[in-house]
Structure formats: structure tokens, C-alpha cells
């Protein structure tokens, strides 16, 4: 199965249902279910903002289904979806990966990669 690395606390916010759109600077043709992987990078400012002290990193923690990609053409469109992606400005990414069917899984350690990558031996 494919996986996508997401910084904490954003992976956790997706698992909690508080973040429904994952922002990226790149588009993808991929649609379907993938593992949510927590990268080794943590956004310390956002950890404080959302009240998290410690969260798993470099682990598979959940699954989601990518159903569509929304291209933000301008700042207004981007800000109209702020409650879904939690981003502050379009420089964070003009592509919004729309997620559904998010589920937490029993986490396991796994080294991430850029883009969507294959997870072998755990499916």
C-alpha cells in the first residue's frame, strides 16, 4: 500500500478529524487508500498551538482515502477552506488533498520517503 509522510501535529489532527485537507506544493494523480506516515520533522510552533507535547514520529499511524485534489488558484479560495486544511497562507501549498475514511491503525515504526511511497511487508 502507498503511504504519505505528514509532519506532526498535522498527522494527528487528520486522525482526530480536525484536518480534512492535506496541503502540498505538488499535485498527484493518485487516488485511493494510503497509510498516514509521521515524518521525522515536527512543527514545534503548531505543536504548542494545538496543545500537543509529544506525538509519534517516523511511524505509520493511520489510513485515509484520497478522493480528490483541489487546486487553489488564489488566496481567497485558499482561506475559504482554512477550517479544513488549517493553513495560514497559500505558500504552504496550492494543492489540497481531500481526505475521507480516516482511521487510526496500530502504529509501527517505518522510514519515510518523499511523495507517495510503497510500504512493504506490513499490509
For residues 55-59, give the mean pLDDT.
94
119 within some domain:
no
**CATH code at position 70:** 2.30.130.30
Main-chain phi, psi angles of 24, to 5 degrees? -140, 155
Selected residue with higher pLDDT from 28 and 122: 28
pLDDT value at residue 121: 67
The whole-number pLDDT of residue 120 equals 82
pLDDT at 88: 83
The C-alpha atoms of residue 52 and residue 47 are separated, in whole angstroms, by: 5
pTM confidence score: 0.91
> To the nearest 5 percent, what fractions of the chain are helix, strand and coil?
20, 45, 35
Owner of C-alpha cell 494527528? 12
Tens of pLDDT, residues 69-113:
999 999 999 999 999 999 888 777 899 999 999 999 999 989 888
Domain-located, residue 121: no
In angstroms, how far is CA 93 from the centroid of its own chain? 12
Note whether residue 85 is domain-resident.
yes
Q: What domain range is 55 assigned to?
A: 2-106
Amino acid at each position: 500500500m502507498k503511504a504519505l509522510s505528514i509532519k506532526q501535529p498535522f498527522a494527528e489532527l487528520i486522525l482526530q478529524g480536525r484536518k480534512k485537507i492535506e496541503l502540498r506544493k505538488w499535485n498527484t494523480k493518485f487516488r485511493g487508500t494510503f497509510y498516514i506516515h509521521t515524518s521525522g520533522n515536527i512543527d514545534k510552533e503548531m505543536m504548542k498551538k494545538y496543545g500537543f507535547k509529544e506525538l509519534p514520529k517516523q511511524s505509520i499511524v493511520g489510513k485515509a482515502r484520497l478522493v480528490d485534489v483541489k487546486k487553489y488558484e488564489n488566496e481567497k479560495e485558499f482561506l475559504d477552506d482554512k477550517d479544513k486544511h488549517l493553513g495560514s497562507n497559500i505558500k504552504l501549498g496550492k494543492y489540497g488533498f481531500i481526505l475521507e475514511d480516516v482511521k487510526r491503525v496500530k502504529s509501527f515504526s517505518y522510514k519515510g520517503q518523499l511523495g507517495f511511497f510503497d510500504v512493504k511487508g506490513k499490509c
